[in-house]
Amino acid sequence: MPIPLPALRRRRRNKAPASPESSSQRYLAGDLCELLEGYLRPEEVKQVYDAYLFSAEAHEGQKRRSGEPYIYHPVEVARILGEMRLDAHTITAAILHDVVEDTGTHLEQIREHFGADVAELVDGVSKIDKITFTSREEAQAENFRKMLMAMANDIRVIIIKLADRTHNMRTIGHMPRSKQRAIGRETLEIYAPIANRLGIHQWSQELQDLSFAVLYPLRYRSLREAVRGRQGNRKAVVDKIQVAIVAALKSDDLSATVSGREKNVYSTYKKMKAKHLSFQEVHDVLGFRIVVPRRDMCYRALGVVHGLYKPIPGKFKDYIAIPKANGYQSLHTVVFGPFGQPLEIQIRTEEMHQVSDVGVAAHWRYKTGDGAAHRRRHAHELARKWLVDLLDTQRDSGDSREFLEHLRIDLFPDEVYVFTPKGEIKKLPRGATALDFAYSVHTDVGNRCVGALVNHKPVALKTRLRNGDHVQVQTSVHSAPHPGWLGYVVTGKARAMIRNVLKGQRRRESVRLGRRLLKKATASIDFKKATSAEKNVLLRRLKLKEWDDLLADIGMGNRMSLVVARQLAAVRVGEDHADPSDSAQPPLIIRGTEGMLVTLSRCCRPIPGDPILGFLTPGKGIVVHTNDCPNVAEYRKRPETWIDVNWEPGIKGIFPASIRIEARNQRGVLASLAAIIAEAEANIDNVSMTESDSQFSTMLFTMEVRNRRHLATILRQLRAQEPVVRINRVKG
């Protein structure tokens, strides 16, 4: 049972011994309460503690993989958020974030005990575990789609989610190695970039390093040791540069805090990999941060730094005048240091520094001043606008892979800043084209775009934009997206909008073609026009919603027009006695499928007498497999892709079949087995032989047989031979 709050405080003061479980809970809950008492009101601390009691009771008996009580995890997540001084509702929801998913607790109970705000946060963070997905990618895409929708309503949802992932990554060592790698890759590709996109850089860098350590443990350890060694060697250099900068600022009557910093391990690795450098060749690992009281002093400090050390041309960025999309503000400059190596220097105010560390989370910090609150709300609105735009882009995207592709594009924005004709600033990813700019203005502008003027000069739509470009779009009512546009747009919004229009165009063309093909097919079997009732019965059997969906499938080659015509004919024949919900289809006789392409599969090599299925394959017509072919197991789950077929009685011909024989190594064994096959009136198309060891060999024969009975006769004769140890037919 959870330990009461007064006892927690006494035990922390007296350091009384306790059992492992109570000791763990005592430390975590007591540490959290002491942390929160530093900035929350007593009644808010009590609410958080009540959530701890509620969660501990709900999770009672549950253990983590490490063997610790499960309550350890939600309290640690709350503590991570408490260190960022987030509000009581966020801390409460963090403690409760797993109770709906992992226990029998209902959301209404949380709403009743802790209010609607906390309940909505818990609901937003809860994972999707009751929906059946057809693939891992679809599950991941839907998870992130729900997460983004919840984020758009309340940004605290992703803040809790990021804290949850941070603690999971800190304790990932108890997971199986395969799961560690999968979670580490997802964290590196999605969660760390989201933290960076929202300006929470301290979490972003920690998640990067933790993921790097999981994915490439040897590289991480060696690089971490190298960075630590360099820190020791450079301490005197850092101190000397720091003293010089402080002295220069003081001489100009500027009060500032100057600190040296090093890139995190993953950032160093990423630079080494991108530029093919050794660790010794990475010189700008070292940097300094200057924090001043006021905004105007940032530019004065910049002048002092450039007077002290020579700036490197093209390496200055003003994120104060033009903040990043996540609200980040700072001056960045790279200068030549006293020992000839480049130094990266960031200059910002204390408020900018706080936003740099915690990003949009600063909006929810407890007790902020009016001016700070206004600017932090602005950062929050910037992040929320990005989320809403991203959701608008993805709303019509039905493909999970496309959704994740767009998401990753939007999470890695190395930005360029360009100007509209009215002087407004547009932020685009580096490498964005004039066409990307058109879609960023409005979807209709992008769809009708025919050209662009960059700095008042006409350019092609695929022209890449640079910082400071002045862009004007030219449109025409007769223009429409072209498939070639997908070859050079880089923004997720442009790519999604182009694909949506092209899909609509392709569908309309496919419906027209499908209608013509079906009309021709029904005429070939002397079938008069289908009634609406017959169409509805067939749609229910095929699990389709609209007749145009079926026509589009025919036009795109996903269904054979003659097969659909026969299915319609079967509906008419059986309309008085067939169950409309029955999806069974009348069997086709292979030799009677005039006008249709029929192919015997090469994997299982069906022969007359085998139970068979026909699979509708674009470009190959009906491909016939044996019922037990392992390659069609997945397709059996989708009845709309297969149709029952059987052999024509008395069918004649020769068909290839493969057998595998394991035999003892004896002189002439291959020749004797081949002779038996030949005497059984079967031609051998191919034979291969491999020696398993010194005593046994494996032979693979492909031969021509008339039917299954003919093959069985050959197998009996071969099995009777003394050298033969094992013989079987090869399928799949």
CB burial of residue 373 (10 Å; 0-12, 13-18, 19+): middle
Residues assigned a catalytic role: 101-102
Radius of gyration for the alpha carbons in the chain, expressed in angstroms and rounded: 35
Q: Report the alpha-carbon distance of residue 357 to residue 254 in Å, rounded.
A: 24
CB burial of residue 648 (10 Å; 0-12, 13-18, 19+): exposed
**Residue 595 token pair:** 């006008």
Q: What is the residue type of 714? A: I
Q: Report the alpha-carbon distance of residue 543 to residue 264 in Å, rounded.
A: 53
Q: Report the alpha-carbon distance of residue 624 to residue 424 in Å, rounded.
A: 62
Give φ, ψ of 27 to 5 degrees.
Answer: -65, -45
Nearest residue to 48 via CA among 75, 17, 80: 75
Nearest residue to 149 via CA among 395, 314, 361: 395
Q: Report the alpha-carbon distance of residue 300 to residue 250 in Å, rounded.
A: 12
**Residue 229 token pair:** 């060694």
Q: Report the alpha-carbon distance of residue 538 to residue 581 in Å, rounded.
A: 9
Q: Which residues contact 622 (CB under 8 A, 6 or more apart)?
A: 560, 563, 588, 593, 596, 597, 598, 599, 614, 615, 616, 643, 645
Whose structure tokens read 């395969």?
178
**Residue 656 token pair:** 């290839």
Residue 386, number of CB atoms within 10 A of its CB? 20
Coil, strand, or helix at residue 281?
A: helix
Nearest residue to 717 via CA among 689, 690, 681: 681
Strand 683-691, strand 342-349: pairing: unpaired
Whose structure tokens read 């699990």?
543
The three-state DSSP-derived secondary structure of 329-391 is CCEEEEEECCCCCEEEEEEEEHHHHHHHHHHHHHHHECCCCHHHHHHHHHHHHHHHHHHHHHH
Which H/E stretch holds residue 274? helix 265-275
Q: Report the alpha-carbon distance of residue 334 to residue 342 in Å, rounded.
A: 6
Strand order in the sheet with 331-336: 257-262, 286-292, 342-349, 331-336, 317-318
Q: Which residues contact 207 (CB under 8 A, 6 or more apart)?
A: 162, 165, 166, 169, 187, 188, 191, 192, 195
Q: Report the alpha-carbon distance of residue 562 to residue 519 in Å, rounded.
A: 10
Could you tell me the sign of the dihedral formed by the alpha carbons of 391, 393, 394, 398, in that order? positive
Whose structure tokens read 């700019």?
437
Which H/E stretch holds residue 663? strand 655-664
End-to-end CA distance of the chain: 57
CB 485 within 8 A of CB 435: yes
Nearest residue to 616 via CA among 644, 594, 591, 586: 644
